[in-house]
Amino acid sequence: MAKIIVITSGKGGVGKTTTSASFATGLALRGHKTVVIDFDIGLRNLDLILGCERRVVYDFVNVVQGEATLHQALIKDKNCDNLFILAASQTKDKEALTQEGVGLVIEDLSKDFDYIVCDSPAGIERGAFLALYFADEAIVVTNPEVSSVRDSDRILGLLASKSKRAVEGQDKINARLLITRYNPARVESGEMLSITDIEDILRIPVVGVIPESTDVLQASNTGTPAISLKGTDVSEAYCDVVSRFLGENKPLRFTQADKKGIFKRIFGGAR
């Protein structure tokens, strides 16, 4: 049986798709057979972030509606043998997904895969609901910023009340916090909410902190998941997230500001 993980946030633009791509790639690189599903019907983007946009023939909605088989719709990642992508439909409307249909697809995928990563759309409408409904685990992506934290709290409420596990009275979804676009220097100067602040407010454990970085744009420009940009802080931070998710004990990194030397202070850093 596969473990189902939803990557969710409520607010848009906080890094759900970036995280889904890197997290799924990370699991696959560790030898786990992984599929990542884009639930953002009508606004598909996971294919672009993973660099497989020109290989999408059939999508998630085609499979749910019986127009294609799973085998036809799953796209094998070009760099990683254990990773498969199920793209969202770009043409169908978001009502095309039914709870029953999605349930059947997930049940089918569970037979072949170790992990099913569900990339949720923003908002709290149908797509977001279906992405979280079947989840065993949740990674709530949050920026250190008021509107993102508030929306994450709302999503945590939904996970605890509207998911399959909640409705059927099973053990609750294991929800963990991933803070993205974290800027330690701004936190130290008191301009930005800290990890502890966000933990205090949302009251769930942290699975990782991704530093704010120009590398994320470089990654999406080229259709490479950020975790594959070897040697960058972002890549290392995502590797740590995968390790922690798999139960390893890794201390947080990239959460302290660099001590700037006098020359950097005067002339500015390269980054």
Binding site for other proteins (CB under 8 A): 124, 145-146, 149-150, 153-154, 157-158, 160-162, 166, 187, 189-194, 197, 200-201
Cβ–Cβ < 8 Å for 244, 208: yes
Least Å from the CB of residue 188 to other proteins: 10
Least Å from the CB of residue 206 to other proteins: 16
Least Å from the CB of residue 194 to other proteins: 7
Nearer to other proteins, 158 or 241 (CB): 158
Nearer to other proteins, 49 or 192 (CB): 192
Least Å from the CB of residue 4 to other proteins: 21
Q: No. of H helices and E strands in the chain?
A: 13, 8
242-261 residues labelled b (16+ CB within 10 A) or e (exposed):
bebbeeeeeeeebbeeeeee
Question: Residue 100: is it exposed, middle or buried by C-beta count within 10 angstroms (0-12/13-18/19+)?
Answer: exposed
Nearer to other proteins, 78 or 172 (CB): 172
Least Å from the CB of residue 190 to other proteins: 3
Report d(CA 119, CA 135) in Å as an integer.
11
Report d(CA 110, CA 106) in Å as an integer.
6
Least Å from the CB of residue 169 to other proteins: 13
Nearer to other proteins, 95 or 200 (CB): 200
Nearer to other proteins, 107 or 188 (CB): 188
Nearer to other proteins, 15 or 144 (CB): 144
Phi first, then psi, for residue 84 (nearest 5°) are -130, 150
Whose tokens are 């890197």? That residue is 22
Residues ≥6 apart with Cβ < 8 Å to 69 = 63
